[in-house]
Amino acid sequence: MTVTADEKSGGMTAFKRKDFQSDQEVRWCPGCGDYSILAAFQSVLAEIGTPPENVAVISGIGCSSRLPYYMNTYGIHSIHGRAPAVATGVALARSDLDVWVIGGDGDMMSIGGNHLIHALRRNVNIKILMFNNQIYGLTKGQYSPTSELGKVTKSTPFGSIDQPFNPVSVALGVEASFVARTNDMDRKQMMEIFHRAHEHRGAAFVEIYQNCNVFNNGTFEGLVGKEHRADMLIELKQGEPVRFGANLEHGVMLDASGEGVIVEVADVGVDRLVVHDEQRHSPAVAFALSRLAEHPNEPTAMGIFRAVDRPVYEGEVDRQLVAASKRPGPTDLAGLLRSGATWTVD
């Protein structure tokens, strides 16, 4: 629970998770990972303390995109793949709102891929949570852009031959200023990353490994299962060597070509390990860390890969509008747009 100043009354308002819960029955398949993400998200919003009426949640189409129905905030269940574009408009029109975008791997990495990468490269001040279950759930189990090679589904009966996207690598490749990965089994890490995403000025992209217990059940079990976590989850900690294992016996170093490789610390020494720096200007090392695993059953980096400062899109737009208002000629944009079919620009 967080206590924040209430601008309307001048008093103090305490927000709880229930303040961000709508009156709609949550309808996902029993056991779906979306439930834990929703609970973490609502809890984080309560801790942040932004009033519900100052939060907007925008989604596309898919199982995850039902989330705005369950939020006692402003919400838009928009068009397939276009949530980042709609959210860009909301952020530009209402910079006072906290704008969150919800979507799945099919919604954002397939039909919405173009909108996603441009929102990230522009650094629009929106927070994007991408639920990745590596399957199309709402349409009943077809392969998605993140499904692994050889994946047998209703639409790939002989196994997928498509090279899958690595969403974190995609985000880093387009110079996103904040990039992170977490999973639906780690409530603590999820909430910490959601907090950091909110604090970040600019576009924040968070990939969340999420189990679809109907059409892709257990796809991440070899990674997040209790008996596997120590040797499979590589937690990135700012300013520390990248190490993992029950006794931190494994580590990550860069080879001669700049690729990340997993080594035994006893063999190479701590000094040879990569020291994680999420604020490094170049995304190259973060990209190498994102490529450690090609499959969910390989050691995988989790946490914040990149968090750097870049000019925020809305601020640059406002700066141009102010500069334009000081030039000779009409300064009333709304009046100019309604003045006729043509006009002269000096």
How would DSSP label each residue in 199-256? HSSS-EEEEEE---TTTSTTTTHHHHSTTTHHHHEEE--TTSB-EESTTS-EEEEE-T
Q: State which amino acid sits at residue 310.
A: R
Q: Is residue 158 part of a domain?
A: yes
The pLDDT tens digits for 83-98 are: 999 999 999 999 999 9
Please give the Cα distance from 194 to 279 (Å, whole number).
18
Structural domain contains residue 17: yes
pLDDT band at 296 (very low <50, low <70, confident <90, very high): confident
Asked if residue 343 belongs to a domain, the reply is no
Mean pLDDT of the chain: 93
In a domain, 159, yes or no: yes
CATH code of the domain in which 124 resides:
3.40.50.970
Distance from C-alpha of 236 to C-alpha of 278, rounded to nearest angstrom: 9
Contact in structure between 238 and 215 (CB atoms under 8 Å)? no
Domain total for the chain? Answer: 1
Confidence of residue 297 (pLDDT cuts 50, 70, 90): confident
In a domain, 264, yes or no: no
Distance, in Å, from the CA atom of 149 to the CA atom of 151, rounded to the nearest integer, reads 6
Query: Whole domain around residue 97: which residue ranges?
Result: 2-219
Q: Is residue 116 part of a domain?
A: yes
Evaluate whether residue 26 is within a structural domain.
Answer: yes
Whether the pLDDT of residue 190 is over 70: the answer is yes
Separation CA 178–CA 181 (nearest Å): 11
Give the residue-averaged pLDDT of 111-128.
97
Question: 278 in a domain, yes or no?
Answer: no
Predicted TM-score (pTM) of the model is 0.92
pLDDT band (50, 70, 90) for residue 194: very high
* Angle CA 251–252–258, to nearest 5: 165
- Give the dihedral sign, CA 68/90/82/291: negative
Tell me: pLDDT of 205 over 90.
yes
What tokens were used for 154? Answer: 């209703």
- Residue 9 CB coordination number (10 Å): 8
Give the number of other Cβ atoms within 10 Å of residue 110's Cβ.
16
